[in-house]
Chains A and B, each alone.
Chain A
Amino acid sequence: MGASDFSKLPHIGESLKRKEDYRFLTGAGQYTDDVVLAAQSHAVFVRSPHAHAKINSIHIDAAKAAPGVLGVFTGADVAADNINGLPCGWLITSTNGEPMKEPPHPILAQGKVRYVGDHVAMVVALTQQQARDAAELVEVDYDVLPAVVNVADAASGAVAGAALHDIAPDNHCFKWAIGDKGAVDAAFANAAHVTKLDLINNRLIPNAMEPRAAIGSYNRASDEYTLYVSNQNPHVERLLMTAFVMGLPEHKVRVIAPDVGGGFGSKIYLYAEDVCLTWAAKKLNRNIKWVADRSEAFLSDAHGRDHVSHAEMAMDKDGKFLAMRVHTHANLGAYLSTFASAVPTILYATLLAGQYTTPQVYVEVDSWFTNTAPVDAYRGAGRPEATYLLERLVTRCGWEMGLGQDEIRKRNFITSWPYQTPVALQYDVGDYHACMTQAQQLADVAGFAARKAASEAKGLKRGMGYSSYIEACGIAPSNIAGALGARAGLFECGEVRVHPTGSVTVFTGSHSHGQGHETTFAQVVAARLGIPVENVDIVHGDTGRVPFGMGTYGSRSISVGGAAIMKALDKIEAKAKKIAAHLMEASDADIDFSGGEFTVRGTDKKIPFGQVSLAAYVPHNYPLDVLEPGLNETAFYDPTNFTFPAGTYICEVEVDPATGSTRVDKFTAVDDFGTIINPMIVEGQVHGGLVQGIGQALLENCVYDRETGQLLTGSFMDYAMPRADDFPEFKLGHVCTPCTHNPLGTKGCGEAGAIGSPPAVINAVLDALRPLGVKDFDMPASPHRVWEAIQSAKA
């Protein structure tokens, strides 16, 4: 079935209430920390208090002798057991043809620690309190080394003696580029005007509300491991851990990601703790649980963003973009996390054409190791960085050319598809003018002047900011990803198991950690089969139950995971039609299926879906000579292109120049996600994304001390998490141009809010402050920083 037929099915586009809610609302969710295994012991990690230090010695005797202690493990034990380091899943090749520098990423430190929170030892005891107490007794003798924290400091080599890895003595991991530099330079030489911008994309800490947690378990009788882990992609976790790190056969390892309390990217990765627990579970023949404190989460979850960039746009005299040139320094942190290298390259630079017809784009990226936690994909992953840079630059282009923020965009919008960008991607479909028009109506742009005057009368500054984002989702065609350096496939699997009486269980490789797959996916299946949504259950998050799948990230679940289920449903429908034809003594070709009934074209013969499913499992009257019994089909779906959600966001802020206090007064988001299956869930995803994006722009900022590398924003007391009273009610709108290459027409909606919103906010802040002479501003727009910007503009 194709996308246009699919979108017309009953209940597609209806806001069904979520099937998963009852258990979450009644306290019956099963998150990893809620799982209690027999004879469960507890692990605590001894972490580095230094950003960079040589380990002279580790004394564990006192800890080993402490009450309840079952084992104490250090890097020496890891080395003795030949446990490999954590792998990076994406190979980037430098412009000089050399592969990126891939230093070892040990699960427990080997002679050196490289960030505050780095793993030094693991203590396992009968109770968590005993493990904590014993961990205090582990004595580590360090020689503290100079630390480099800021990516700009790493790039300039400003800190002597701060080489993190032998393999990269200058801390440089790779230099990567995309685009035609010669053509870009030529276009710049002939430009009527060039707009330039330097900007920082501030570092963020993901902070899913459920801290990471894991339970390692080993069954000696069957030689099987089970790892419960708060994770977004259990099969990827298992593949990385077994094939690359521990050398175990996959069929002996089961990874279960039960209810997961938010991910936002930070639970994609294979972490040291997960391997340590699995490894030690066998060594101690015990079930071992570890649950991160929030403080540990701050220190050791992969962080997001952290780019320093310079961008230039060449224009003709009418503000038409001729070429863009970008250089970015990306902070990778101390080690290469699972997809770290893909974020500032493939997922970033390829999006820098945006919604515009800029004929030439050239992007150069230098990435650096620093003495900070590893940086990896966080909601949007590269695309928010691209959008922030481009949309800040475009607004500035408009102002410098004397054009409105809308006009500069409209003059450069792509208007025909498919559209081949100069940075590899081919957009299949869209309607950027429609998003802009609807956003301007919903935002009441016409009334802005009056609102601004009202603010002025109160002594406040009002500004409006635009952002027209595009993202590449539905990650990805495996062959293209492979050509770009991916070390994994990026398909998804779906198994549809029709039970004898017609109810259905679906097994998906996608993983829900808040996105509502148990409802949306069930809605897809119920609509296709014409059965009540209550008759469909979705199973995910368990390698022991689900066929090999790649998991949830990059807004891919419905477009890739949902498409796999559609392909499996095609097989179910095809086989069921044959069974129905037999039962009604008709030809296969004459059978129609809709609304849960099989009919013979041109007759009044019909039988319901449940009768066919029963015949499949009780095959008394059944064409056994040509058809197997049963109704259970699996499909793997590998997309042929990315999907390209896009939209226009408009933010209105009010700034108190006396205090710098900045309030988002209105925020309008118009998105084109293609087909929408459950508007309630989609809008919830946008709301959440907006708060993370506006949070980055107004509140959130991860700060390390520049010299010592101590994390200064290491708790919710220091890191400004967005709260309910920081926001107005958002206005949402939708444009629908269905994706042309998947059977649902969907594009993905999980990250858009976080991608599109930061530049809208900062453009609005700058619009408000321009009359005061403020020309530039880096996130977050905290009162102190805004006030400072106003003061320095005065000076």
Chain B
Amino acid sequence: MQVQFTVNGRAASVDVPPNTLLVHALREHLMLTGTHVGCDTSQCGACTVHVNGRAVKSCAMLAVQAQGAEVTTIEGMATADGTMHPMQAAFKECHGLQCGFCTPGMVMSAVDLCKNHPNASEGEIRELLEGNICRCTGYQNIVRAVQVGQKAMAGA
């Protein structure tokens, strides 16, 4: 099936079988391999992207459901000159990543979290990150990164 949507601000069209998940359309058809597959039960959040401005686990959505949607992946977060989004910069500043595999999903969730909960406390941030699993960092520096990113996004 032909799916037409906007990905990272550009029109995209993919021809995929109807049972194709959005994450596979992004990774295998558009070669946007920054979005990762970490599980098969929609638990880990490594595949989180934004669809029409909301964080979505792209393994829990068919590509055809994205028809006409605006999709943003981790590759679309930095500006055209490569300057990182404040949340990406905060993850680097706070050492909020180690192996980097969960990181794109974490960043996408964190941006959504801060848009919708600009005043979330540390405890609330921990709860709101419940849908993203990281095995490396012990979360402490991810939480700090979200706090720093939260401030930076508020000031932006």
Which residues of A come within 8 Å of B, CB atoms? 15, 17-18, 20-31, 33-34, 36, 129, 207-211, 259-262, 264, 291, 293-295, 513-516, 680-681, 683-684, 686-692, 715-717, 721-725, 727, 729-730, 753
Contact = CB atoms under 8 A, between A and B. Distances in A.
Interface in B1-39: 17, 27, 31-39
B92 A34 contact: no
B34 A28 contact: yes
A513 B84 contact: no
B41 interface: yes
A724 B139 contact: yes
A211 B38 contact: yes
Contacts of A729: 122, 140, 143
A689 B38 CA distance: 20
Nearest to B91: A25
Contact of A17 (B78, B93, B136): B93
A661 B143 CA distance: 23
Nearest to A293: B40
12 contacts: A18-B92, A20-B100, A24-B100, A27-B32, A209-B101, A262-B99, A294-B40, A294-B41, A514-B98, A687-B140, A716-B41, A724-B139
B127 A725 contact: yes
B92 A21 contact: yes
Given A18-B95, A688-B136, A209 B34 contact: no
A27 B33 contact: yes
A686 B93 CA distance: 18
A681 B95 contact: yes
A295 B107 CA distance: 25
B36 A210 contact: yes
Contact of B141 (A684, A689, A753): A684
B77 interface: yes
B110 to A, nearest CB: 11
B100 A33 contact: no
A710 B33 CA distance: 34
A209 B99 CA distance: 9
Given A21-B91, A209-B135, A514 B34 contact: no
Contacts of B84: 22, 25-26
A291 B33 CA distance: 14
A753 B136 CA distance: 12
Contacts of B111: none
A291 B27 CA distance: 14
B145 to A, nearest CB: 10
B33 A260 contact: no
A128 to B, nearest CB: 9
B55 interface: no
B46 interface: yes
Contacts of B75: 26-28
Q: Give the interface size class of chain B.
A: 35 or more
Contact of A730 (B99, B101, B140): B140
Nearest to B98: A514
A21 B107 CA distance: 13
A261 B39 CA distance: 13
Contacts of B43: 715-717, 721
B37 A33 contact: yes
Nearest to A692: B135
Contacts of B102: 209, 261
Given A25-B91, A210-B38, A295-B40, A723 B138 contact: no
B69 interface: no
B100 A514 contact: yes
B134 interface: yes
B133 interface: yes
Interface in B93-132: 93, 95, 97-104, 107, 122-123, 125-127, 129-130, 132
B92 A26 contact: no
B150 interface: no
Given A261-B101, A262-B135, A687-B137, 8 more contacts: A25-B92, A27-B74, A209-B36, A261-B38, A684-B141, A687-B138, A724-B129, A730-B138
A724 B130 contact: yes
A286 to B, nearest CB: 18
B98 A688 contact: yes
A28 B88 CA distance: 13
A209 B44 contact: yes
A262 B137 CA distance: 11
A513 B138 contact: no
Greatest chain A CB density within 10 A among B36, B88, B97, B101 is at: B101
B36 A687 contact: no
B138 A294 contact: no
A207 B137 CA distance: 14
A723 B129 contact: yes
B56 interface: no
Nearest to A519: B95
Contact of B39 (A20, A36, A689, A716): A716
A26 B78 contact: yes
A688 B97 CA distance: 10
A208 B100 CA distance: 11
A207 B39 CA distance: 10
B94 to A, nearest CB: 9
A-B pairs with the 8 shortest C-beta distances? A27-B34, A24-B100, A261-B101, A687-B138, A514-B99, A514-B98, A716-B43, A27-B74
A259 B101 CA distance: 9
Contacts of A36: 31
A688 B137 contact: yes
Contacts of A208: 99, 101, 135
A19 to B, nearest CB: 10
Contacts of B32: 27
B64 interface: no
A681 B130 CA distance: 24
B125 to A, nearest CB: 7
Contacts of B41: 294, 715-717
Contact of A261 (B31, B91, B93, B100): B100
A680 B135 CA distance: 17
B88 A261 contact: no
Contacts of B134: 209, 724
Contact of A27 (B73, B129, B133, B139): B73
Contacts of A717: 41, 43
B27 to A, nearest CB: 8
A29 B34 contact: yes
A583 B147 CA distance: 54
Contact of B103 (A24, A515, A716, A722): A24
Nearest to A680: B95
A178 to B, nearest CB: 33
A687 B141 contact: yes
B142 interface: yes
A692 B31 CA distance: 33
A25 B125 contact: no
Contacts of A689: 138
A261 B44 CA distance: 13
Contact of B97 (A25, A34, A716, A727): A25
A295 B139 CA distance: 24
A209 B38 contact: yes
Contacts of A516: 98
Given A21-B97, A514-B99, A727 B34 contact: no
B92 A22 contact: yes
Given A684-B95, A687-B140, A264 B135 contact: yes
